[in-house]
Chains A and B, each alone.
Chain A
Amino acid sequence: MTIDLENISKSYGARKVLENFNLEIENDHSYVITGASGSGKTTLIRILLSLEEPDSGRVHLMGDYKYPYLNAGVVFQENRLCEQFSAVQNVVMVNKKNSVKVAEEELLRLLPEDAIHKPVSELSGGMKRRVAIVRACAIPSDMLIMDEPFTGLDLDNRIKAIEYIREKQGRNPLLITSHDMEGLDFCRRIEL
């Protein structure tokens, strides 16, 4: 699939966060968006997901795209997990096709066995982040979008997570925002 972001501009009051931003997102490609805090990385993701309207410009979901908005596996800036439920339940709940067995297998790729059945509220920040990554990758989607997915992960876990994401990405496009380029050399870098 191809997503065309055309002349996207967005302001909050007097503060302009995006100005005539253009990007063509294609299958088999990965993108990392970098920039200082407040440079519009999260806003761009929200516009891409149709959670916000741009002031001007358009997001084209090219071809005969069957959904009204992008079907993406998403890691939000905050984890947005149902804290009282286990990691397995958090992965299962988002899609009818996700079985407990598959969720367990996927989570064990990034988390220790004793962590996946505990309520998420009892996990560390880094573990929660990994649950959010697995959740995003475990649903059938047309694109992976991850807003600072590696926050709180040490280098080992970061590399493991990147390998996992790349494997799950398949031919779909991947868009990551990150302050840190470590391990993301395979991505096309876009500075905001």
Chain B
Amino acid sequence: MKIIKKTGIVAFWLLVWQLLAIIIHNKILLAGPAESLNALIQMAKTPDFSASVVTSMLHIVAGVVIGCVLGIVLGAIALKYRIVGEFISPVVTTVKSVPVASFVVLILIWIGSDNLSTVIVALVVFPILYLATTNGLSATDDKLLEMAHVYRMPSANKIRYIYFPALIPSYMSAISVAVGMGFKSGAAAEVIGQPLLTMGNGLYRSKINLDTAEVFAWTFTIVLASFVVEKIFIMIISIIKKMFVPASANNQAVNNKDEEVQDDN
């Protein structure tokens, strides 16, 4: 029932789009879904298409991974050593607030277009994971940390049993946002930098040719690639979560904070 309802909603908006295309009757201004689908099929037949998709995805995924590692490691260090956090904080604020386009132009000048999208995506993803790490670690139950200190709990166990359960929920949502933002900024960087055989470059060429159907086709390809990569990342985190954190586990901090010893007699 739910699937039928969702399919109905999608069909409705496709119909609206098609009707608008018919009314406007100008392929340059608005290509309809049928024309866009046709453009996608034609594009998919060319060898450049798959090369572009693979190249862009590899660069963007590399950027996401680099950004994640940087954000997680620096976030953990910043919380452990307050002074490091104070130094990193303005960098994070700057990276968050400076428009991606400015970074794209600067990075393009500094390193050229070959690895532009990787660097841009890493820059966009870094603050998201940095904040998820610092917020997640800050939310760790102090009483459990005190217990771990008193018991001289091994560091590996502290990470697995105390920090991990606190971090996983914030990472789930952060990764989802990071991958989406990564693809958007990566594609934007490719449009500006125009590295050859990339999805952004394809999008740019479609714009130059005033081929709106191809613009929609490339956009759909980028959205689909983003969706697939996001699902893969979420699946990896879910597997890690299943390996290390039991299913019943998400309310640990709440349980410990609100805990009252009750009679079981």
Task: Find out whether the CB atom of A139 lies under 8 angstroms from the CB atom of B151.
Answer: yes
Contact with A along B132-168 (1 / 0, CB 8 A): 0000000000011011111111100100111001000
Q: Which of B146, B147, B252, B261 contacts A84 (CB 8 A)?
A: B252
Query: In this assembly, does B46 line the interface, its C-beta being within 8 Å of a C-beta of chain A?
Result: no
Task: Find out whether the CB atom of B261 lies under 8 angstroms from the CB atom of A125.
Answer: yes
Task: Find out whether the CB atom of A78 lies under 8 angstroms from the CB atom of B143.
Answer: yes
- Least CB distance from B106 to A in Å reads 45
Q: Give the interface segment out of A12-20, A68-76, A170-178.
A: A68-76
Q: Chain A at the B interface: mostly helix, strand, loop or mixed?
A: loop
- Least CB distance from B166 to A in Å reads 11
Q: Give the interface segment out of A30-38, A57-65, A116-124, A183-191.
A: A116-124
Q: With a CB–CB cut-off of 8 A, which chain B residues contact A125?
A: 260-264
Q: Which of A49, A71, A82 contacts B161 (CB 8 A)?
A: A82
Query: In this assembly, does B251 line the interface, its C-beta being within 8 Å of a C-beta of chain A?
Result: yes
Query: In this assembly, does A164 line the interface, its C-beta being within 8 Å of a C-beta of chain B?
Result: no
Q: Give the interface segment out of B67-75, B186-194, B241-249.
A: B241-249
Task: Find out whether the CB atom of A94 lies under 8 angstroms from the CB atom of B256.
Answer: no
- Least CB distance from A46 to B in Å reads 9
Q: With a CB–CB cut-off of 8 A, which chain A residues contact B162?
A: 82
Q: Which of A74, A93, A127 contacts B157 (CB 8 A)?
A: A93
Query: In this assembly, does B255 line the interface, its C-beta being within 8 Å of a C-beta of chain A?
Result: yes
- Least CB distance from A122 to B in Å reads 7
Query: In this assembly, does A95 line the interface, its C-beta being within 8 Å of a C-beta of chain B?
Result: yes
Kindly state the interface size class of chain B when it binds its partner: 20 to 34
Task: Find out whether the CB atom of A82 lies under 8 angstroms from the CB atom of B144.
Answer: yes
Query: In this assembly, does B102 line the interface, its C-beta being within 8 Å of a C-beta of chain A?
Result: no
Q: With a CB–CB cut-off of 8 A, which chain B residues contact A49?
A: 150
Task: Find out whether the CB atom of B143 lies under 8 angstroms from the CB atom of A83.
Answer: no
Query: In this assembly, does A181 line the interface, its C-beta being within 8 Å of a C-beta of chain B?
Result: no
A74 to B151, CA, bound (A): 8
Task: Find out whether the CB atom of B252 lies under 8 angstroms from the CB atom of A82.
Answer: yes
Residues from 68 to 110 in A contacting B, C-beta threshold 8 Å: 71-72, 74, 76, 78-86, 89, 93-96
A161 to B54, CA, bound (A): 63
Asked, given contacts A83-B255, A84-B249, A94-B157, whether A126 binds B264 with beta carbons under 8 Å apart, the answer is yes
Query: In this assembly, does A151 line the interface, its C-beta being within 8 Å of a C-beta of chain B?
Result: yes
Task: Find out whether the CB atom of B248 lies under 8 angstroms from the CB atom of A80.
Answer: no
- Least CB distance from A92 to B in Å reads 8
Task: Find out whether the CB atom of B263 lies under 8 angstroms from the CB atom of A93.
Answer: no
A127 to B262, CA, bound (A): 9
Asked, given contacts A83-B256, A94-B157, whether A124 binds B262 with beta carbons under 8 Å apart, the answer is yes
Task: Find out whether the CB atom of B264 lies under 8 angstroms from the CB atom of A124.
Answer: yes
- Least CB distance from B103 to A in Å reads 40
Q: List 19 A-B contacts (CB under 8 A).
A: A49-B150, A71-B152, A78-B256, A79-B256, A80-B144, A80-B147, A83-B249, A83-B252, A93-B153, A94-B151, A95-B154, A119-B248, A121-B255, A124-B264, A125-B264, A126-B264, A126-B265, A151-B261, A152-B263
B residues adjacent to A (C-beta < 8 A): 143-144, 146-154, 157, 160-162, 165, 245-246, 248-252, 255-256, 259-265
In order of increasing CB-CB distance, the 7 nearest A-B pairs are A84-B249, A125-B262, A126-B264, A124-B264, A154-B265, A80-B147, A94-B151
